[in-house]
Structure 1
Amino acid sequence: MRLPSSTSLLLGALVTLGACSADSINGLRERPRFSTTGILAHEPVLFVHGWNANSTTWTTMVGRFKADGYTDAELVNWSYNSAQSNKTTAQLIAQKIDSIMRVTGATRVDIITHSMGALSARYYIRNLGGDGKVDGLVTLGGANHGTNTAFFCGQASCIEMRPGSTFLAALNSTTDAFGSPRYAAWWSGCDEVISPQKSAMFTALSATNTQTVCLKHS
């Protein structure tokens, strides 16, 4: 699946992560928009694609981040085996984040996810120490509360993505916006993959949910 090229959706992600100026976006609380290292101009961003996809999901968005002033050192794009458990992918995210922080000296990293990528990123934040390392998490068409389309796939990651799964029950217990990071979800009423579409939304009052114009999932 490839992320739709949407100016409004991109702008929302940029504002959320402090990459461009705006007064507010649906009440999202602000945090400092400067490097914690004194070297980088922005907090680094890790991109996490979704099921049956790869790093090319983010080609357009990475280009727009660069146009907005981000450098290669501040943008980390990668591919992983989307058939494996989201718990396994979360362990890889933990390694990526630690590597980014070690190389750049940053104390926190922002994460932008698409589709199923939201689940592994959130698992990392909740269970693998990411709470103290992630500043903001943006989920684009995220399977935050599962999707019925996952019943057509028997891979480990798909089983976890099914509404009512043990994985999702644990991930969303007490809150679906765990810890100190900022959480923001963008979802579309025309999404044909996330079913029901509102499964992409966070229920936590501390999170921000934004409905886009009519956009397909891929």
Structure 2
Amino acid sequence: MSAPRLPVLLIHGIDDTAKIFQTLVNSLSDRGWPEVHAIDLVPSNGDIGLDELAAQIQAYVEANLPAPQQFDLVGFSMGGIVSRYYLQRLGGLERVRHFVTLSSPHNGTWTGYLRSNPGARQMRPKSEFLQDLNSTVDDLTQVEFTSVWTPFDLMIVPANSSELPVGTMMQLPVLAHPWMVSDPRAIATLADLLGHELDESTKQVTPNAELSA
């Protein structure tokens, strides 16, 4: 059984803007999603903490997706970590049905050492910020959480940093980090995930289509 098409909110990664999602927005709209939002996090270069960026998600949701409207949340790269802070620390768990991250450094990335600003430091392996989020990772069982990642990622190092002990972990053979938001296989997989019915009694997905791989 297909799930109702809830609004989708897309959160981009470091140095990106909402424009990175144009192909994805068009594809979801063509597949029948009536409402797809993509916001700009400012600044997106790590000069402020990911917790401050998460507050921008909270403000956008309050202004554009007022309660009790549920929505699905998708975070790419850094956007997945910003989204987790919104969910786990700013009350987002009460609003979100499906939460999908695409190539997000849930356990940190060594590329975080290429910059010394606050956001980059928070994405380093074993950072205080990530250890705090991961200390309550079981909170994510309150939503339908899926982490989609590619073993060929050269931005998330090691690539399996995208794995967490909760939710569903999926690998796709996408050959470059930024292609995770435009590769046809990634888009089809995301559409399938968001289109699945959620069994509220078990917090498990009832498939209505075979996931792309």
- In the superposition, the TM-score normalised over structure 1's length comes to 0.76
Aligned to 1:109: 71
1:75 corresponding residue in structure 2: 36
SS of equivalent to 2:121: helix
Aligned length: 175
Q: Percent same amino acid among aligned pairs?
A: 29
Structure 1 residue ranges, 4+ long, deviating more than 6 angstroms after superposition: none
Give the aligned partner of residue 193 of structure 2. none
Alpha carbons of 1:70 and 1:214: their partners in 2 closer, same or farther (altered >3 Å)? closer
Q: Deviations along 1:54-93, whole A, 9 cap, x unmatched?
A: 111101000001101122xx11111111222100011111
TM-superposed CA distance for 1:134, in Å, is: 1.0
* Aligned residue runs from structure 1 range 140-159, under 5 A: 140-159=102-121
Which residue of the partner structure matches residue 176 of structure 2? Answer: 216
> Does 1:86 find its partner at 2:50?
yes
Structure with greater helix share of residues: 2
Are the structure 2 counterparts of residues 155 and 176 from structure 1 closer, same or farther at C-alpha, using a change threshold of 3 Å? farther
- Using structure 2 for the length normalisation, give the TM-score: 0.78
1:57 partner letter: I
Q: What displacement does 1:106 show? A: 5.3
Task: Measure the CA separation in 2 of the matches of 1:128 and 1:147.
Answer: 24
Compute the displacement of 1:213 (Å).
Answer: 1.1
Is the contact between residue 6 and residue 33 of structure 2 (CA under 8 Å) also seen in structure 1?
Answer: no
Contact 1:118/1:142 (8 A) holds in 2: yes
Residue 44 of structure 1: aligned partner: 7
Q: Which structure 2 residues correspond to residues 1-218 of structure 1 after superposition, within 5 A?
A: 33-34=3-4, 42-71=5-34, 74-80=35-41, 81-82=43-44, 83=46, 84-102=48-66, 107-175=69-137, 178-204=140-166, 207-218=167-178
- Unmatched tracts of structure 1, length 5 or more: 1-17, 22-32, 35-41
Please name the residue that 2:206 is paired with. none
Shift of 1:214: 3.8
Q: Which runs of 5+ in 2 are unaligned?
A: 179-213
Cα gap change, 1:178 to 1:214, in 2 (>3 Å): closer
3-state SS of the aligned residue for 1:138?
strand
Moved more, 175-184 or 193-202: 175-184
